A and B are shown apart, each in its own frame.
Chain A
Amino acid sequence: MTPLDHYPVIDLGPLMRGLVIGGLGIFHVFLAQFAIGGGMLLCYLQWLHMQGDCRLARRFTDDYFKLLVLVSFVLGAVTGVAMWFTSIQISPRTIGTMVREFHWVWATEWTFFCLEVVAGYLFYRYGSRLPDRTRLQLLALYAFASWMSLFWINGILSWQLTPGTWLETRDVWAGFFNPGFLPSLIFRTISAAAIAALAACTLVNAVPGFTREERQSLVAICARPLVFMLAMPLVGAWYLGTMPADSRGWATGGSVPMTLFLTMAVGSSTLIGLYAILAILRQRLFVNGATASLLLALAFVATAGGEFVREGVRKPFTIREYLYSNSIARDGVADLRRRGSTADDPYPLRDQAHYPNEQLVLGAKVFRAQCSVCHTLDGMNAVAELAATWSIDQRRLNIAQLQRTKPFMPPFAGTPAEVEAIVQLIGWRHAGRPPGWAVSDDPAVLSQIERWLDEAGTGPGDARLVVGARLP
């Protein structure tokens, strides 16, 4: 594996590139889980209808399926493709590695997409003219296929954080059935059931033609899958337990944003669960459209929090112990320390003429190669802001020993001259980007940086050195 593959880097101005994939991911996951849970809920409703336990179920099933098709077949499908394309925009090497290692898994998932689309569309188009048994069969196939798509993609996504023995064996199934696979699958299945139940409660109130009693009856039935949320704390704790200690540390106090996102997810889920179990299922309170919408919005917040945590706690890796978040191979850092991270970069800077000297050009190229996936120069999570109060020697030390400065940062993967170049770039921008800027090439400074680089080594920072007091 090459240490670093150079691709053209997109420029999103003041936006963090990583934030784009996170934002889209939340939206797609929410829609996908709605589709998966929706399939299961519709099967249940159809079955109830056939048992004679709910006379409204068939009609509601047809109404709900239209929404499912319009939302999941269009937005769900296209945002799925969008996730793929956005991943290429943000980190082509990460998605390239995922595709290479799991292409047969992805291809298998694709066969289930095909079944899902055909079974779903046949039900959508002809369901109202089909006998109950055939309707149930189609819905069961649709629900099974959509859940299986979760099954396959869940293995790949959980592998990114907990690749398990794949790191030694490179065996696709060791990677797929990784330590986080099962808790993540169960957790996502429960989430899917809950989202679909809340969407159904919202829809019951939105569809015309039902009396209040009929709505109440349907809400009571559609809300039943929410009872599975009781298992969420247990499964969530299991999932946390499978995470690497440092990743768990970020989410449980080591990183304020990650802890806040986890709190947001847990808090929202708790509120939904409590309301569902105490008010809807136990006291059989009527849930109107506003309340159902609010609960659904809370579910979106919970999904957003959970997905941010899942993405965030992988740091400093994008594939644990294999590929850093800046797409540099873990085993390639030592090589880049010798050769430099920009030596093979064929792409010029777009604003090259604006830099007063070649050292700053080098600094900008180093920033683009190593930092720009998570940082901007002046916008969100700006390097210039983060290093604003550091003295020049602090900048040199902190960047040379990046993994010690912040243990969720990857090690600096370049030469001492590249460290100095990025230090000078930060200084130049702080100075208001003057037209003239002296080149800093003092051999003593470069020797000191080299010593700092050697001291820090080429591996990731040991999180336990920093948050050890809180970690097991």
Chain B
Amino acid sequence: MNTLFPLGLPAATAFYLCLYLATLVVHLVFMHYVLAGSIYLAVGRVMGRARCQACNWQSIIVDWLPFATGLAITAGVGPLLFAQILYGREFATANLLLSHRWMAILPVLIVCFYLLYLQKSAWIARRAWAWRPAIAATACAGFLFIAWSWTENHLLMLDRAAWPGMYATSSLWYESAGVLPRLAAWCFVAFPSLAIELAWQGRLLGDRLDEPAAANTRVLGLSPVRRLAVTALSGWAGTLLAAWAYWPAIPAAARTAITGPLGGPWLIMAAMALVMQIVAWSITLVSERLTRGMLIVMTAAWVTTLLGIAVLRETIRLAAVDLATGKELHQTALGIGGLPVFLLFAVLNAVAIGWCIRTVRGQLATRSDGT
């Protein structure tokens, strides 16, 4: 624990941790879109029909949220798989202790998923406006319940001493000072992700974010670009506040690991990338323009911050779990064959996915050109 993550860890553990983190960051990209998007939509819908119709971002979110949810679920399979190799006993125990409460996330997810499709259906278009905020709020509440359950599950995994007592009481709720601030941090950090993803979507759909906005696109006096900047900056402000509240709830050993050689450099890297984003979004807020170059810089800083946060999250967990037992299990797992096959198909399928997107984009462009 006195060396930079993951260098001081056993090779097999480090290998699975890297894979876990790489796949987790991909999952976060989509999960953030779903979580922040559903909150953004629920709040937006409450603001009334006229404002909703003026807000291009809400239209994009409504349109893409079901697909993003599908991607978030699919992308979640990878980190879930590697988490079971890394922390199988802890993960299973937390699932079992939370029991029916934990399993409830699945029907809730199904209901939320269908509500997202309902939001973009012809059926809802024929209904009174009041249906839309109600549906958006229900879906949002469902996703928040899922986020809350994951937070509880994660913290319970790390609290081995609480397991027998929690089992004895049959409690389906894990009470810990860390649950609410950690949940808040994860919810707030999703907003900067949403802002960057929406900016890219807007650009790809033809929005000119580097030009002055038309008057009819303003909501509460804010242009689309400013709304993104406000979303991102308020998200970071909330994240920092929640992280500040969460800090005392983190065990002392984990805090030392975060600021020490294991996580310290990652903390500095994440902080620097965060400052870069805040500066970039502040400039955007003032100028009301978002150029492609600025967006690329923001995106690079955003990915760096996400990676840093993911590593720090893992640093806390590594301070809580029994790595000595895990080391043998990870070594055994790494000795099992199949890695080359996975790598081969990962590349082939990534190429196939790229081909699909490129082909469809090309065909649509050709059609819109009339050629």
Contacts and interface: CB of A to CB of B under 8 A. Distances in A.
Interface of A: 5, 7-11, 70, 73-75, 77-79, 81-82, 84-86, 88-89, 92, 95-96, 99-108, 110-115, 117-119, 121-122, 125-126, 129-131, 134, 137-138, 141, 145, 170-173, 346-350, 352
Contacts of A9: 96
B299 interface: no
Contact of B96 (A8, A74, A99): A8
B240 interface: no
A8 B342 contact: no
Q: Is the interface of A mostly helix, strand, loop or mixed?
A: helix
B270 interface: no
B215 interface: no
Given A81-B73, A82-B106, A115-B352, A8 B167 contact: yes
Contacts of A100: 85, 88, 329, 332-333, 336
Interface of B is mostly: helix
Given A130-B360, A346-B164, A75 B110 contact: yes
A77 B74 contact: yes
A119 B351 CA distance: 12
A103 B345 contact: no
A85 B78 contact: no
A74 B113 contact: yes
Interface in B88-115: 88-89, 91-93, 95-97, 99-100, 102-103, 106, 109-110, 113-114
A138 B168 contact: no
Nearest to B348: A111
B125 interface: no
B70 A103 contact: no
B357 A350 contact: no
A102 to B, nearest CB: 7
Nearest to B76: A81
B371 interface: no
Nearest to A347: B167
Nearest to A101: B336
B85 A126 contact: no
The 8 A-B residue pairs whose C-beta atoms are closest, nearest first, are: A104-B338, A92-B92, A111-B349, A172-B337, A104-B342, A8-B96, A8-B167, A82-B106
Contacts of B3: none
Interface residues of B, number: 61
B63 to A, nearest CB: 9
Contacts of A78: 73, 106, 109-110, 113
B183 to A, nearest CB: 20
A348 B167 contact: yes
B333 A8 contact: no
Contact of B77 (A79, A81, A121, A125): A81
Nearest to B335: A170
A96 B84 contact: yes
Interface string B336-354: 1111011001101110110
A5 B329 CA distance: 14
Given A111-B345, A112-B345, 18 more contacts: A8-B93, A10-B96, A11-B170, A74-B117, A81-B106, A92-B92, A92-B96, A103-B81, A106-B81, A113-B74, A115-B352, A126-B360, A130-B364, A170-B336, A171-B337, A172-B338, A347-B167, A352-B168
Nearest to A115: B349
A129 B368 CA distance: 10
Nearest to B91: A88
A138 B74 contact: no
A42 to B, nearest CB: 16
B333 A86 contact: no
B89 A105 contact: no
Contacts of A85: 95, 102-103, 106
Contact of A348 (B97, B114, B168, B367): B168
Contact of B349 (A86, A88, A112, A173): A112
B27 to A, nearest CB: 11
Contact of A346 (B81, B109, B163): B163
The interface centre, meaning the residue of A118, A131, A138 with most chain B CB atoms within 10 A of its CB, is A118
A138 B357 CA distance: 10
B74 A114 contact: yes
